[in-house]
């Protein structure tokens, strides 16, 4: 038995620092995000922090907005982009993004698009096979963004990002279609 918190499902993982343990136990979002920034290359920290964010914002819209205000969307998308091949980390980070957008509503979904989450989620779709846990988690988050009008999901493998047209504002429509052949 271990006295320290380990990353979920991996008893042999590295021990987490006492400060990080405290932040996780107290649901201190600022402390969790600081640890993510302090140790960006440590997958276990990024994964545990993503899971903690998911749990902290559950049924708590104000906590979701706090994560956004603290720059957490950028931290989560950075964790994904920096470790896009890591199955468990991508699954945890994508589900955390889904929870943030679900609990925080339109404002958080809009911030997610502006802060690079779409690109991170798209990279997961590209890196992981259809039906895998990270791919499904990314689709779940993209579905929530679609519910708020931030993206549209077309045919089988087509996801596009669009912004609503407003007079005097720049708009972009990005269509992502998988390569044919092979």
Q: Could you read off the pLDDT of 42-55 as tens digits, one per residue?
A: 999 999 999 999 99
**Comparing C-alpha atoms, which of 73, 23, 64 is closest to residue 45?**
23
The string of pLDDT tens digits covering residues 57-112 is 999 999 999 999 999 999 999 999 999 999 999 999 999 999 999 999 999 999 99
pLDDT of residue 18: 86
Residue 47 to residue 91: CA distance in whole angstroms: 9
What pTM did the predictor assign? 0.79
**How much is the average pLDDT of 32-41?**
94
Pairing label, strands 159-162, 173-176: antiparallel
Whether the Cβ atoms of residue 123 and residue 81 lie closer than 8 Å to each other: yes
Evaluate the CA torsion angle 108, 109, 115, 118 in order and state its sign.
positive
The string of pLDDT tens digits covering residues 24-34 is 889 899 999 99
Query: What is the residue-wise DSSP string for 113-163?
Result: HHTTHHHHHHHHHHHS-TTSHHHHHHHHHHHHHHHTTSEEE-STT-EEEE-
Pairing label, strands 159-162, 151-153: antiparallel
Residue 15's H or E segment, with its range, is: none
pLDDT of residue 178: 52
| Mean pLDDT estimate for the chain | 84
Residue 39 to residue 15: CA distance in whole angstroms: 13
pLDDT of residue 19: 84
């Amino acid at each position: 038995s271990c006295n320290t918190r380990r990353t979920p499902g991996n008893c042999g993982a590295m021990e987490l620092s006492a400060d990080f343990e405290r932040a996780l136990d107290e649901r201190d979002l600022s402390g969790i995000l600081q640890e993510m920034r302090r140790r960006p290359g440590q997958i276990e920290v990024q994964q545990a922090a993503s899971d903690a964010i998911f749990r902290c914002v559950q049924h708590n819209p104000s906590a979701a907005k706090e994560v956004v205000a603290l720059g957490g969307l950028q931290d989560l998308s950075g964790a994904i982009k920096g470790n896009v091949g890591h199955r468990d980390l991508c699954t945890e980070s994508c589900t955390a993004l889904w929870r943030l957008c679900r609990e925080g509503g339109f404002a958080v979904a809009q911030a997610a698009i502006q802060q690079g989450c779409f690109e991170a989620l798209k990279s997961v779709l590209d890196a992981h096979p259809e039906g895998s846990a990270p791919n499904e988690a990314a689709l779940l988050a993209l579905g929530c963004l679609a519910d708020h009008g931030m993206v549209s999901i077309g045919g089988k493998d087509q996801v596009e990002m669009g912004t609503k047209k407003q007079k005097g504002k720049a708009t972009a429509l990005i269509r992502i279609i998988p390569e044919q052949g092979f």
